[in-house]
Amino acid sequence: MLTLYRRHIACCAENGKPRGTPSQEKNKCTCPIWIQGSWHGTTYRQSLDVNGWGKAEKLKRQIEDGREPQPPKNISVDEAVNAYLTYCASRQLASRTLSKYRTLAARFQDFSSLNGLRDLCEWTQEHADAFCAGWRGRRITLSKTLEYARVMCRFWHDRGWVQRNWFKAIKAPPVKDNPRLPFGNEEVQRILSRARDDRELAFLLTLRHTGLRIGDAALLKTSQVCDDRIYLYTTKAGTPVSVVIPPNLVSLLKALPTPGGYFFLRGQSLHPHTTSDSWRKRFKAICKLVGVSPAHPHRMRHSLAADLLSQGASVEDVAAILGNSPAIVAKHYSQWIKSRQDRLDSIVAATWTPKLVRVK
């Protein structure tokens, strides 16, 4: 007779409580499910390496039918990590993305070494829980790290090296999305007044009038500016952007020296993160001087979007100007959509009648 039960980990609220019936244990938590008992002379007491009761029942039936699932291929932790990093490199991912995967892989190897886990098949859900519990940082950082860990473990699962993706059973920390408000016109004027030269002024005006992300603006090429218009494909999504710029900005750009064919190159590095980080530091320094906070250059993008929507531009038009999808524009800038706000105002105004009177 084979029975299933949950083996609660140390941090589980059910740990230490009397074990209930299978129906009571079914949806208590997400701790791993074990099987115990004997079947045709074979004794079982082992983890099924799953936390879903339906999957556990299926594995139990396979054992009872004589179709016991094959154990995963025995591969060392180092071999698995190296195989995954080689796969990432073959996908030609960005250098910063590869660096994050390498950092996670090194931490995975260090944890395995400290806990005496030489082979990948020795890992369990409890080990994955302990591995993630040791991470430190902001919630958004922990959430992204968990996402990378899930992708890495899925690679191993798809190749039959592990029976399940342990990191899918771990919930990401809640991340509160705090949308950044656009700059006010007075704040923009204060920022522009602190430009040290025409190059800085042109860069700030480019951010304000085009809504480009700072990475695209920092590496703006002379070939991407034609007459009074900027044409480019965004670095983040590869979407085309074509936006007209005012005459004063056109004049500034024409008068600037363009080393290597770039308007705003700082130093000799053409690496997008190096150049954009340099301009980001300068932008924050200017905001600090004029007392504007939060000092984030992406607020210039929000400013353009808010102005366009407030003046009646459609969501689709704003999406085309910014190089976003209409869904993203509606999500982040819905409070500035004039037609929507007019409709909401009329709904609120309708509650003003009949006029409420004070009862004495």
Ordered per-residue pLDDT tens for the chain, 360 residues: 788 888 877 767 777 677 666 666 666 677 788 888 887 767 777 777 777 888 888 888 887 776 665 555 678 999 999 999 999 999 988 788 899 999 999 999 999 999 999 999 889 899 999 999 999 998 999 999 999 999 999 999 888 888 889 999 899 988 876 667 899 999 999 999 999 999 999 999 999 999 999 999 999 999 999 889 999 999 888 899 999 999 999 999 999 998 889 999 887 666 767 888 999 999 999 999 999 988 999 999 999 999 998 888 899 999 999 998 899 888 888 888 888 888 888 888 888 877 667 776
Helices 139-158 and 95-114, packing angle to 10 deg: 80
Domains along the chain? 2-64 (no CATH), 77-169 (1.10.150), 185-342 (1.10.443.10)
Query: What is the Cα gyration radius of the chain?
Result: 29
Helices 326-333 and 298-310, packing angle to 10 deg: 90
Q: What are the start-end ranges of the E strands in 187-251?
A: 225-226, 229-233, 240-244
Q: What is the pTM of this model?
A: 0.66
Spatial distance between the Cα atoms of 291 and 158, rounded to a whole number of angstroms:
53
Spatial distance between the Cα atoms of 122 and 47, rounded to a whole number of angstroms:
11
Helix (H) or strand (E) run with residue 20 in it:
none
Closest CA to 278 of 329, 217, 198, 346: 217
Answer yes or no: are the C-beta atoms of 115 and 47 closer than 8 Å.
Answer: no
